Amino acid sequence: MLRVGTLWRLLGNCREYLREEDGHWLADIAAFPGVTAHERTRKQATASVQGLAFRPIADRLEHGEAVPGPMNFGTSAQVLQEFFVTVVRKASRPLSAAEALEWIEEWAAFPCQAIDRELVQIAVALSQRFAISYWDAAILAAAEALGSHVVYSEDLNDGQQYGQVRVASPFS
Q: Which domains does the chain show, CATH number per domain?
A: 4-168 (3.30.160.250)
Cβ 24 vs Cβ 95: under 8 Å: no
Burial call 123-154: b when 16+ CB within 10 Å, e when fewer: beebbeebebeeebbbbbbbbbbbebeebbbb
Task: Give the separation between CA 64 and CA 44, rounded to whole angstroms.
Answer: 31
Quickly list H helices, the chain. Answer: 4-13, 42-62, 77-85, 97-106, 117-130, 134-146
Task: Give the separation between CA 99 and CA 8, rounded to whole angstroms.
Answer: 13
Residue 12: burial class (beta carbons within 10 Å; 0-12, 13-18, 19+) = middle
Task: Give the separation between CA 7 and CA 97, rounded to whole angstroms.
Answer: 18
Asked if pLDDT for residue 170 goes beyond 80, the answer is no
3-state helix, strand, coil in the chain (%, to 5): 50, 15, 35
Backbone angles phi, psi at 150, to 5 degrees: -135, 135
CA-nearest of 56, 88, 51, 75 to 139 is 75
Backbone angles phi, psi at 120, to 5 degrees: -60, -45
Q: What pLDDT, on the 0 to 100 scale, is given for residue 14?
A: 47
Provide mean pLDDT across the span 29-42: 71
Biggest CA pair distance of the chain: 59
Question: Which range has highest mean pLDDT (9-13, 30-34, 141-145)?
Answer: 141-145
- What integer best gives the mean pLDDT of the chain? 78
Query: How would residue 102 be classed by pLDDT, with cut points 50, 70 and 90?
Result: confident
Asked if pLDDT for residue 13 goes beyond 50, the answer is no
Tell me the whole-structure pTM to 2 decimals: 0.63
CA-nearest of 153, 164, 170, 4 to 77 is 4
